[in-house]
Amino acid sequence: MSGEPGAAPVPPAPAGSGPRRVLVTGTSGMLGRAVAQLLFDRGYTVRTLQRGAVEAPWESVQGSVVDPDVAAQAVAGMDAVVHLAAKVSFTGDWDDFVATNIVGTRQLITAAQREGLRDFVFVSSPSVAHFGSSIVGAQAGTADPDRARGHYARSKAAAEEIALAEDSPAFRVTAIRPHIVWGPGDTQLVERVVERARAGRLPLLDGGRALIDTTYVDNAAEAIVRGLERMDHAHGQALVVTNGEPRPVGELIAGICSAAGVPAPGYSVPGWLARGAGSVIEKAWTAAGTRGWVHDEPPMTRFLAEQLSTAHWFDQRHTQAVLDWTPSVSLDQGLERLAEYYRNR
């Protein structure tokens, strides 16, 4: 991504594709900002939609995708949508996930179809097809709201179903599922790891042996943009995106801690114990939060315990063939960039 220390030059859009007008939602988050910036750098006309005000060189609409008037305003005059806006949390009321992730997606699709847009990239998550057991060298499974774990995954699975059901030659839809996206400025994974490690509250589960895939943010952004540029090949499909470098979760966490200059976790707890404790903590945390007592994420949930103690890595051959894409930043290079980010803070 341009502007980041050590970043490679941004390649131009493929010959013959021409400039296009693209709406990107959810640009208050790290990945949404990266996607908007990459599109802008490649010569696309970019408009963004997010809840808060932003400073950017492109046009911006402030509001929620749940509001039909805001959705209509955001898609007006556009050619395509990259939809990242979502409620991302380990806990919370189901109705809140439904409103943003399901109703918001349906609202945006309806607005895009009425405006005559042709392409819609829905940014999803591999969790929509993760049902608690190990994933070893798999491709993208089928999203299943009934079997997905937790409110976020269930709501994203339902939203992905809604989006892909609208795929047609006149309105092309693809679902891109980047897996565990991280990088400088990440508040979802990196900052939580760093804060808890600094406070001595970050155990490894089962010794951190579970093999997992992750995705450096620049690679995730490039793959999403390629989904748009390769819509002829990608539409109607769900594609999992990763760095293609599965590593033990303990090794990845140690790398993040080293980059930030904090001690890596020094103790381990059994995964079965963490999963059981996570279920209890999640229920208590949610109950307290509904009364306004708690505003942050709980230290552990069953879903998080499963993610930290269960293998989940994916075969990337189909994804890379469809997108005509390979990751440009290795995990080690990403960790070097993360270390540089912390040195400069």
Name the CATH code of domain 21-263+293-343 (choices 3.65.10.10, 3.40.1180.10, 1.10.530.10, 3.40.50.720).
Answer: 3.40.50.720
Burial state string for 237-253 with b = 16 or more CB within 10 A and e = fewer than 16: bbbbbbbbbbbbbbebb
Q: 59 with 47: CB under 8 angstroms? A: yes
Q: What's the predicted TM-score (pTM) here?
A: 0.88
Catalytic residues: 152
**pLDDT value at 69 more than 50:** yes
Per-residue confidence band for 13, with pLDDT thresholds at 50, 70 and 90: low
Per-residue confidence band for 2, with pLDDT thresholds at 50, 70 and 90: very low
Query: How many other C-beta atoms lie within 10 A of the C-beta of residue 70?
Result: 19
Look at 28 and 121; give whichever has higher pLDDT.
121
So what's the pLDDT on residue 307? 64
pLDDT tens, 164-211? 999 999 999 999 999 999 999 998 889 888 988 898 888 888 778 889
Query: How many other C-beta atoms lie within 10 A of the C-beta of residue 225?
Result: 26
Distance between CA 176 and CA 179 in Å, rounded?
10
Please give the structure tokens belonging to residue 232: 């002829």
Distance between CA 66 and CA 135 in Å, rounded?
33
Most confident by average pLDDT, 31-40, 131-140, 274-283, 291-300: 31-40
**pLDDT value at 136 more than 90:** no
So what's the pLDDT on residue 301? 59
Of all residues in the chain, what percent carry a pLDDT higher than 90?
60
Instruction: Of 116-120, 188-192, 213-217, give the lowest mean pLDDT range.
Output: 188-192
Average pLDDT over residues 38-58: 92
Q: CA-CA-CA-CA torsion for 213, 42, 336, 263, nearest 10 degrees?
A: -60
Query: How many other C-beta atoms lie within 10 A of the C-beta of residue 258?
Result: 15
Average pLDDT over residues 74-90: 93
Average pLDDT over residues 313-341: 96
Per-residue confidence band for 126, with pLDDT thresholds at 50, 70 and 90: very high
